[in-house]
A and B are shown apart, each in its own frame.
Chain A
Amino acid sequence: MPKQIRLTTPLSTEDVENLNIGDKVFLNGIIYTGRDAAHKRLIDLLNEGKELPFDVQGQIIYYVGPSPAKPGKPIGSAGPTTSYRMDAYTPRLIELGMKGMIGKGNRSPEVIEAMKKYKAVYLGATGGAGALIAKSFKKAEIVAYEDLGPEAIRKLEVENFPVVVINDTKGNDLYVEGAKKYRKE
């Protein structure tokens, strides 16, 4: 069985260096949400030499656009979106000290290289398990770009959010290794 690890954000370089592909991680603490539209705005701010709406140092961005919260709930269904749409923006944020991303699907060679160079990890959440995942989210608060609706940047307080390490700091890729192991012929 894969290794199971409990981690609390913000993450240190040591925290992420200890992770290997296939490890199951239960995340606790604060994470931030963002999809392509929010990422574009973050990079535009950096290009203009302005400050980001939150400090990415040691943080994790979760690629999610939740469904609307029902009354009395912090958030609606909240599973991951496909990550490659963020690839163009991600290396810059990793360079600034971001330690992790949560999504689903393959990353570009540039993102994988940045994870190796600056020590960060890519974590997978179960795509399409939005109702189950939302159970791990205790609080949600919009911190930027409210006009983007589901794509606004939210600060989430999470408790034992289950994710799997897909790319570690050594350049390994669960998608490559997993398929190799079970391929037939």
Chain B
Amino acid sequence: MREVHTDEITKVVRDLFMDANCNLGEDVLAAFDHAIEKDESPVAREVMKELKENARIAREENSPICQDTGLAVLFIELGQDVHIVGGDFKDAINEGVRQGYMEGYLRKSACDPFSRKNTGDNTPAIIHLEIVPGDKIKIMAVPKGGGAENMSRVNMLTPAVGIEGVKGFVVNRVKESGSNPCPPTVIGVGIGGTFERSALLAKKALLRKIGERNPDPEIAKAEEEVLERINKLGIGPMGYGGNTTSLEVFFEVEPCHIASLPLAVNIQCHASRHKEAVI
């Protein structure tokens, strides 16, 4: 048994949310450069240059890339040989979120669904916990903005529609979302499992780095095909027209019930913020 103190967990969570909100990933920046070079639309190229400049300012001034610094979503892989000491695990995570959003001048966007009263410190965090072998804790922080999340959907398809039906649904979802989710987007697609599992897979897909294909060659081919079809829609950066509507499409696939074909599409804005650390 390896002991990990809750204070350390709090500090790591705090730092991850500040980092994810202010420092855009290198993979995303490379995708921006590609669009600046390749998009046929002068307006699209202009928007992509603005986004690159925005990322530079955010990094230099340590200010958030976007004012919507998201709800605090975390994927945590907890090694089964870790013994957490010093307090409650969940409290430690929420304290990290509280400190990160307060000290990092990040916007607090969590509120009551009906009264719309803000919780004041961006808690509660949304925690997806998995117990894994080993004595480490891997923490992945995903600040998730509202605009792109609102365009996401879960659908229970009829198995007969097959992979072609899945592809069509994803492309159509991006088409119908149009300019709303801050294109160029990253599309997380969860296929299989149950109703809720598909949504979780779709969100988890967003943790991959741009360019990282699904290990199954058939699924990898489907990802590439869907990305190509999306980028033929013409929506472009910010919806002003162009060939860069999405930067990437990630599929995650798991077995499902013999009667079902669950499909979730989780849309992520161009900032595609996520950072991870291992304790």
Contacts and interface: CB of A to CB of B under 8 A. Distances in A.
Interface string B107-150: 11100000010100000000000000000000000000011001
- In the complex, which range does the number of interface residues on chain A fall in? 35 or more
B179 A175 contact: yes
A20 to B, nearest CB: 13
A181 to B, nearest CB: 5
A77 B66 contact: yes
B169 to A, nearest CB: 18
A180 interface: yes
B64 A130 contact: yes
A78 interface: yes
Interface string A167-185: 0000000110111111111
A185 B234 CA distance: 10
Contact of B63 (A76, A175, A184): A76
B253 interface: no
B179 A135 contact: no
B10 interface: no
Interface string A1-32: 11000000000000000000010000000000
Interface residues of B, number: 49
B63 A70 contact: yes
Contact of A184 (B105, B180, B232): B232
A37 B179 contact: no
Interface string A62-98: 0011111110000011110110100000000000000
B107 A128 contact: no
Contacts, number: 166
A53 B240 CA distance: 34
B70 to A, nearest CB: 11
Interface stretch (B36-44, B73-81, B192-200, B201-209): B36-44
B240 A174 contact: yes
A100 interface: no
Interface in B196-239: 232-236, 238-239
Contact of B65 (A22, A66, A70, A131): A131
B85 to A, nearest CB: 34
A164 interface: yes
A132 B58 CA distance: 8
A64 B43 contact: no
B238 A104 contact: yes
Contact of B66 (A128, A150, A162, A180): A128
Contact of B235 (A1, A68, A179): A179
B109 to A, nearest CB: 8
Contacts of B41: 178, 181-182
A76 B64 contact: yes
B72 interface: no
B238 A183 contact: no
Interface of B: 40-44, 47, 50-51, 53-54, 57-58, 61, 63-69, 105-109, 116, 118, 146-147, 150, 178-182, 232-236, 238-243, 269-271
21 contacts: A66-B67, A67-B69, A67-B107, A76-B63, A76-B105, A82-B150, A82-B181, A105-B180, A106-B178, A129-B51, A129-B66, A131-B54, A131-B65, A150-B109, A174-B241, A178-B236, A179-B233, A179-B234, A182-B44, A182-B243, A184-B232
Interface of A: 1-2, 22, 37, 64-70, 76-79, 81-82, 84, 104-106, 124, 126-135, 149-150, 162, 164, 174-175, 177-185
Given A67-B107, A76-B105, A150-B67, 11 more contacts: A76-B63, A79-B68, A105-B178, A127-B238, A128-B65, A129-B51, A129-B53, A175-B179, A175-B240, A178-B239, A181-B41
